[in-house]
Every structure is written in C-alpha cells, then in structure tokens.
Structure 1
Amino acid sequence: MQGWSIFPNSAWAEVIKSLYGTDDGFTRPTVARRKSGCWGVIANISKVLERDNVSFVDHFRSVNIAEAPGAVKWSWDLEPSGVYSVASLRKCIDRAILPFSDTKWMWNSLVLGKVNILAWRIIHGRLPTLAILAKFGISSSTTCKFCDESLETENHLFVECGLVKEVWQRVSSWWRLLDSNFQSIGDLLNCKKLLTGHQRLSDINEAVMLVFLWVIWNYRNLKAHSSGVKSHTVLAYEVQSMALFWINARKRKGEPLRWVEWCCDPILECYSKL
C-alpha cells in the first residue's frame, strides 16, 4: 500500500506522482533509465516478462480501501489474499514458457527414485536443458554438448543427437527391439509396449530404458563441466552394467540375473528368472 495513495492530496503525494507517475512507476520508462545493476533489472522486469508473453503489470489491480474513503491500494490477482508472492509469479512464468504435458508417469520400482524423477522431468519439460536455461537468461550457449550443432532440447538430447542414436542402436539391438526408430521422447518412454507376454519383462525393459536416459544425462553433465569423452560403446556398456546392478538389487523375487547371460540375451535371461 502506497503512502501517497492514502493521502492523495498531500504535498508528498504530488512529489511522488511527479517522479513516478500516477501508476506508481509500473509503466513509466524513465524509472528504468535512471537505475542500473540489480535495481535496473527490477525496474525493467515488466519488459523482460513481456518477451515471454507474461504481463506482469496486468496482474495488479487497484482496490479501494474501506478504512480510507477515496484511497486505493494495489492487489495481486494471482493470490487469493491479494498479496504479491514470488511463487505465484514463478508459476505464471512456468505456464507461459515451459511446455505442458498431461502424461502420467508410473513409477518403476526397479530403478532408483532419482531416475524416475528424471523421466518425470523429461515428460513435463522440467529438465534444465540449455534451451530452457537460455529462456531464463541463465545460459548464453544453447548448442548440444555432444554434437555442437543443434539446439539442446529434450527431444534432441535423448532422441535426435547422432551420439545418442548410436548408443540407443546398440541398446535396442541388444534387446532385439525391431521397431526402435523413435521420433520423440514419448515414443522412447513407451518402448516397453514393444515387448508383450509378461508384465515383469516389460518392467525390466522399461528400467533399462530409464537407465539409458540416466546415462545420457550424466554424460551430458560431464561434458558440460569437464572435458571427459566417452564413446557410444562405453555408454552402452554403462547402460548394461548399471541396469543389471539396480535390477538385481531391487527386485524382490527370483534369482539374480547373471552378467554373461544378461549381456548375450537379456530377454531369455529374464524369462528364466521370472
């Protein structure tokens, strides 16, 4: 609540209005020009948000004050209380910028929780890829860390990139998935539907796919923060070994899967232990 709004006819109110205008300076461009650094960013916040189709100023409403006839105060319409909050603005920005998906993710108990969370974030566009970070002004680079050519989006990082395709080709041939030329993240996450006959086998196949996503994301972070280099063969081996370790550690029934048989024919090995 602004002091000049309570006493609109006072001398101090006239001074404030001459400097910032009658709208408290929300849309007055001279305010932004007089400030630099952090305050300059704050003063220009409405212009920054407008680039992402988020109207910051329009969410403020002028409300009459019952206790002071003729006076008004600002009310934030994204909160029932009318009080501005950073959380409500963040949700508004997320809805405007980030993609939305109504796909539900069923938790896979054969892998760690963090791997399931990674899959959920990918589905709902919540993964901090360079394309997303650039929208928030956090990163100036947007090219893929693997190929240094295309925009790093979820779809490119896990489906379209040349290195990832080579890794997935080895994994899919290992699992004998004939129709494995996926075009999107959704196709990749639904790959367990390619295997029919036993629910547990489909769950194990899905666990391998989740480990594949985890290995690719870990390697991407390694490339982003260091100069480490791995071949597609090494990455495919990591998928095999990590998946076997997690599945054996977390499955509750049956004998553990054997390494040699797992590498040679995972489907046959899984059937023998079901």
Structure 2
Amino acid sequence: MEHALLECPVAKDLWRRVLRWWNMGGFSFSNMEQLFKGSKPNDQTNSISSLWQAVTWVTGYSIWRNRNLALFQKKKGSGPTMLNEVQIKSFEWISRRSKKLKFEWIQWLVNPSFVEDHG
C-alpha cells in the first residue's frame, strides 16, 4: 500500500505536483499513517488543515484510480492530468460540502491555502 500510494514513481510525481501547487515544496510523507491522519506543516490553520486533509484523500484516490485504469484498461494517466483531476475533485468535494469556506475556482488553482473561513 505504501509503495502504491507514496513510493512508486507515479505517486511520487503526483505528490510532488500537489505539494508544489500548495507551495509546500519541502514537505513530505514518510508513511501512510502520517498521510491519512491529515499530517500537515505546523503553520496551517484548522480550516486549511481540513482542506489539506481532503486534498490528500483525493490524491490517494486519484493514484489508486489511475493505477487500476493502467492495470485493467491499459490507460495511463500523466502527472499533469492527474493533478488536474485532484484539483477538480477536491474543489467540487470541498465547495459542495462546506458552508463556512468561501472560495472561487481560480483562487483554488492559484493558492488553495488562502481560503476565507466564514464560520
């Protein structure tokens, strides 16, 4: 599981892209527990921490989904395509489920950690 979601070249490439998107270039995960318990840099607020946790779950899902597509349907996703999938799915999930957080698509793409909490 750790190899599939963290260590294989496809997973590493996607995590590198996601971390760059979030301006967290020096941050990394050492194991699955750290990843899925919402591990984050210490300077994130609770609302941003929740967003980051959602993004980590969507990224894990995207890696797993693309791995299955490659294995069973011989369709291989590229890093930019997978990042786009993570951005779209996480935006849709968060924007539909949260009434307290307000943000626009362009803001999400440019700086997802700058979201207004209206709670």
**Bigger-Rg structure (1/2):** 1
For the 8 Å contact 1:158–1:213, the answer to whether it is kept is yes
Aligned residue for 2:3? Answer: 156
Aligned residue for 2:52? Answer: 205
**Paired residue type of 1:234:** T
Match status 1:240 vs 2:96: no
1:159-178 residue pairs with structure 2 within 5 A?
A: 159-178=6-25
Distance in 2, Cα, partners of 1:238 & 1:195: 27
SS in 2 for 1:266: coil
SS in 2 for 1:203: helix
For the 8 Å contact 2:55–2:86, the answer to whether it is kept is yes
Shift of residue 190 of structure 1? Answer: 4.0
The superposition leaves residues 42-81 of structure 1 with CA deviations (integer Å, 9 ceiling, x where unpaired) of xxxxxxxxxxxxxxxxxxxxxxxxxxxxxxxxxxxxxxxx
2:70 to 202, 218, 223: 223
**Paired residue type of 1:187:** Q
For the 8 Å contact 1:167–1:236, the answer to whether it is kept is yes
Note the aligned Cα RMSD (angstroms): 1.7
SS in 2 for 1:228: coil
Shift of residue 225 of structure 1? Answer: 1.4
Distance in 2, Cα, partners of 1:273 & 1:177: 21
Distance in 2, Cα, partners of 1:195 & 1:241: 26
Are the structure 2 counterparts of residues 189 and 179 from structure 1 closer, same or farther at C-alpha, using a change threshold of 3 Å?
A: farther
SS in 2 for 1:241: helix
**Paired residue type of 1:240:** Q
Number of corresponding residues: 118
Match status 1:252 vs 2:99: yes
Aligned residue for 1:265? Answer: 111
Distance in 2, Cα, partners of 1:248 & 1:231: 26
Distance in 2, Cα, partners of 1:239 & 1:177: 16
SS in 1 for 2:27: coil
User: What are structure 1's unaligned runs of at least 5 residues?
Assistant: 1-153
Distance in 2, Cα, partners of 1:205 & 1:192: 9
1:29-44 residue pairs with structure 2 within 5 A?
A: none
Identity %: 27
TM-score normalised by structure 1 residue count: 0.40
**Paired residue type of 1:185:** M
For the 8 Å contact 1:174–1:265, the answer to whether it is kept is yes
TM-score normalised by structure 2 residue count: 0.88
